[in-house]
């Protein structure tokens, strides 16, 4: 049984000062929050990934988005240039040596995340705070290979990062107060609402999401067509239908979220083979040239 930790807000005075941010992963989520870090913290941000091509793709995304902010008049061109200069990419983890906040958004596989943190711990100072953007894995297990697991915290963003107002700060059993405090102060600087959650599968938001997506996929598994499910669910007031949302978060991520919940609570959550098949194909909805949904990938769906 987990030891009870004090609830309530951590002492802000314990928060560590952040002078450089390290981002491990240069994919969809990581690039989006790297941009937010540089914009709101105004400190150097270094991103890394498995190879230079991935790093370059992440950097290109960040630079494009800075350009869009400039075009929209949200930032001046001086500011845009300053932000661009603050973001760098590397494939050498030694460049993380002076980072005091390192956050990862690599593939959602426990072993990979454990190894990423064990490796980065060799490069950063003992004072650096470490964070994971995991969607639904256990933060405690992710930190299992760390020498100092008390400096690891969950810091869960939602897609699109620029727009979604929430961050789940996951208080793992070993997370210490200075780490939690640092995470809360950073979230406030990013101008997000932060909630502190327990380290339970799916935390809070993905529990709800896994229910909605699991039930809607299950209706499809049972033979109800996608467009009928979509039409039935949309009037609940969702900003987008469940299948568009699945495409936004990524079919593989969505399938992983369902699997994690099903593994943790088999009676309460569905996993969906159809979602895995669709994830392999890489697409779910079919669209016309203007982006309107015209149908879905029927070939990949098997009725159970």
Binding site for ligand 3HC (CB under 6 A): 135, 158-160, 162-164, 206, 209, 239-240, 245, 249, 253, 257
In angstroms, give the least distance from the CB of 95 to ligand 3HC: 27
**H-assigned helices in the chain:** 28-41, 52-71, 77-86, 110-121, 139-142, 177-189, 205-221, 226-233, 242-249, 251-264, 273-281
Quick one: 163 or 303, whose CB is closer to ligand 3HC?
A: 163
**Measuring CA to CA, how many Å separate 95 from each of 34, 82, 139, 167?**
16, 20, 25, 27
Nearer to ligand 3HC, 121 or 199 (CB): 199
CB of 249 to ligand 3HC, least distance (A): 4
Q: At what angle do helices 28-41 and 77-86 cross, to 10 degrees?
A: 120
Q: Which 3 state secondary structure label does DSSP give 296?
A: strand
Minimum gap (Å) between residue 92 Cβ and ligand 3HC: 29
Query: 5 and 172 in contact (C-beta within 8 Å)?
Result: no
What residues act catalytically?
Answer: 156
Q: How far is the CB of 219 from ligand 3HC (least distance, A)?
A: 19
Nearest-angstrom CA–CA distance, 35 and 80 = 11
Question: Between 15 and 139, whose beta carbon lies closer to ligand 3HC?
Answer: 139
Residue with Cβ nearer ligand 3HC (257 or 301): 257
The Cα–Cα gap between 241 and 226 comes to 10
């Amino acid at each position: 049984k987990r030891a009870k930790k004090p609830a309530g807000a951590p002492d802000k005075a314990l928060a560590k000062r952040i002078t450089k941010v390290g981002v491990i992963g240069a994919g969809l989520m990581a690039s989006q929050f790297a941009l937010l870090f540089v914009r709101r913290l105004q400190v150097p941000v270094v991103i890394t990934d498995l190879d230079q091509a991935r790093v370059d793709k992440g950097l290109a995304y960040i630079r494009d988005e800075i350009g869009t902010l400039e075009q929209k008049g949200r930032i001046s061109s001086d500011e845009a240039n300053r932000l661009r200069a603050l973001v760098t990419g590397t494939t050498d983890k030694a460049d993380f040596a002076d980072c005091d906040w390192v956050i990862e958004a690599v593939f959602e596989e426990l072993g990979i995340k454990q190894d990423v943190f064990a490796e980065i711990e060799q490069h950063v100072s003992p004072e650096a705070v470490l964070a994971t953007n995991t969607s639904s894995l256990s933060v405690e297990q992710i930190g299992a290979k760390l020498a100092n697991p008390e400096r690891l915290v969950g810091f869960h963003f939602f897609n699109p990062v620029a727009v979604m107002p929430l961050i789940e700060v996951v208080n793992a059993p070993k997370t210490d107060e200075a780490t939690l405090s640092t995470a809360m102060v950073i979230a406030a600087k990013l101008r997000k609402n932060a909630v502190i959650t327990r380290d339970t599968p799916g935390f809070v938001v993905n529990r709800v999401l896994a229910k909605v997506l699991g039930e809607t996929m299950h209706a499809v598994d049972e033979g109800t067509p996608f467009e009928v499910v979509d039409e039935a669910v949309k009037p609940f007031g969702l900003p987008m239908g469940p299948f568009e949302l699945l495409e936004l978060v990524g079919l593989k991520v969505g399938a992983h979220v369902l699997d994690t919940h099903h593994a943790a609570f088999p009676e309460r959550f569905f996993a969906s083979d159809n979602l895995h098949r669709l994830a392999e194909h890489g697409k779910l909805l079919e669209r016309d040239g203007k982006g309107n949904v015209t149908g879905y990938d029927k070939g990949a769906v098997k009725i159970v």
